Amino acid sequence: MTVRIAWERSGAGFPLVLVHGLGYARWGWEPVAGPLAAQFEIVLLDNRGIGESEVPAGPYRVADMAEDVVRVLDEAGIARAHLVGTSLGGMIAQELALTAPGRVERLVLVCTTPGGPNAFPMPQVTAQLIATASGLDLLVALRKFVENALAPGAHEELVERILAHRVRTAQPFDAWLAQAAAGAAFDAWDRLPTLECTTLVMHGTADLVVDPRNADLLVDRIPDARLELFPGCGHLLYWEQSERFASRVGEFLS
């Protein structure tokens, strides 16, 4: 079934597609979209199940979500692009680069995992939050998720800024579960040694959502990969250190 995917483009230069993760629409790239658009033609999209994209019944598969991105490339008339994916978006990016290598020039994987039994599991603090979230008031739950995705002691102003976006684009719970199921079932471990494109792996050392040790696994499994750690940053490192993130990504892709 073809799913309608909302997307937008801005800037000029070689195309760069940014794919976000669980519970985040395309606004999630807000701090870095402008700087990157000064160097590239950036394409932002809402994954199926959130924002202005269609919300089909779940569960979803990462392979389906990667096909969504390919359709966006086709609609945009883009034959080949750089690809940046974070968290669940990083899994989507891995899948796309593995199944459609001709569409990906260079790859950036942010705070993500190869998935499967060989990867380091989700930290207990986040697993416990997910287990209890359905019993919380929506605003309380969303705030806890935002705080958990940032490094401990994050500025309240930053929390409120992200929370306002999450409230505005809050998903139906079934859609959130459908996206979560895609991430939980993902496993690229055995296929990663065949990944052809040059890859940059970025991770915050204080990430409580995806174990930072997964960054080392990705670098070990992908033939042409390098690692960039953000000391003290959490899962949303591009909000916490946006200037460094945009600069480093721009340098790598150029």
pLDDT in tens, 123-177: 999 999 999 988 889 899 999 999 999 999 999 999 999 999 999 999 998 999 9
Is the overall model pTM greater than 0.95, yes or no? yes
Segment 28-67, tens digit of pLDDT? 999 999 999 999 999 999 999 999 999 999 999 999 999 9
Degrees, nearest 5: CA angle 49-129-181? 35
Per-state percent for the chain, helix, strand, coil, to nearest 5 = 45, 15, 35
Query: What architecture does CATH give domain 7-253?
Result: 3-Layer(aba) Sandwich (3.40)
Q: Domain residue spans in the chain?
A: 7-253
pLDDT tens-place string over residues 184-243: 999 999 999 999 999 999 999 999 999 999 999 999 999 999 999 999 999 999 999 999
Q: Which of 105, 101, 99 is nearest to 81 (CA)?
A: 105
Report the distance separating Cα 130 and Cα 128, nearest Å: 5
